[in-house]
Amino acid sequence: MSTQVLENSPGILGLYARALLPKKADPKASQLPNLVKKLVGVRADDKRVTRYNNVCGFKQGDTLAPTYPHMLAFPIHMEMMLDKAFPFALMGLVHVSNQITQIRPIAVSESIDIECRFGDLRDHEKGKVIELWTTVYAAGEKVWESRSDMLARVKTEKGKAAKAKPVEAVATLTENWKLPSNLGRRYAAVSGDSNPIHITGLSAKLFGFKGHIAHGMWTKARALAAVQAELPNSFNIEVQFKLPIFLPAEVGFYREGPIANAQIEVRDQKGKKPHMRGQITAQSQQS
């Protein structure tokens, strides 16, 4: 497996222009391409970090928010899924789950390398799930890693995969969040994720939604911001994105257990429908 080293982060506008071009999915695909793309010497922009923290609710500090590296890697993710060897169309993919392991905090001033690769291709009751892995290095040391699971809604010949077992709901409401209609546009401005389903009601309807919805990674970031003061230096957070949050909205953040092993949920205003469900666990510090 060869690694392609990128000279610069791919331009978002060009990526979206390519993403709008028609592409036929291959429902018979059994594996993902052996692609590895790496961007070296990345430094976060102070002003962008501040704007990101403000949109997501993080307190300002000397280290990057745990979700910030995902945003830096987002253009590389798009570049990989627009590769000719990728068997699905980028537009229409659904982010169904995301796992992040922060091995140690990353300083805002640090120079980092970002490496992205495909993982497994799994059957799902509604199609195929694509694994996309991202690893961040600082001075050759792995400091952060994530896995994003993207659903391609295609018909498969193998039938439905087994459904996940029901999870007991988290009981304790700790915060209420009021999400404005322009939240998707504000997050897109700092993240680069300008998928039309998040921008306006009209643009979302063009892709089959009744209205525009909040970004899943904003929801995850906002949940981490809610417990920011308690987070250990090294931890893992894995979430499943459930029902979309149509904007504007009021939602509740639920949390159960100590931060070393906490269950979290984001639910609708009535506390009945889950939008996101996950778990935070403390990790042993790695060298």
Mean pLDDT over each residue of the chain, to the nearest integer? 92
| Virtual torsion, Cα 141, 283, 45, 187, nearest 10 deg | 140
State mean pLDDT over 54-63: 98
Render pLDDT for 190-231 as a digit per residue (tens, 0 to 9). Answer: 998 988 899 999 999 987 889 999 999 999 999 999 999 999
> Residue 167 pLDDT more than 60?
no
Find tokens 């939008």 and name the residue: 275
pLDDT value at residue 195: 86
Check pLDDT > 50 for residue 35: yes
Among residues 181, 187, 184, 186, which one has the least CA distance to residue 196?
Answer: 184
What is the mean predicted confidence (pLDDT) over 116-145? 96
Look up the CATH architecture of domain 3-282.
Answer: Roll (3.10)
Domain range annotation of the chain = 3-282
User: Residue 160 pLDDT more than 80?
Assistant: no
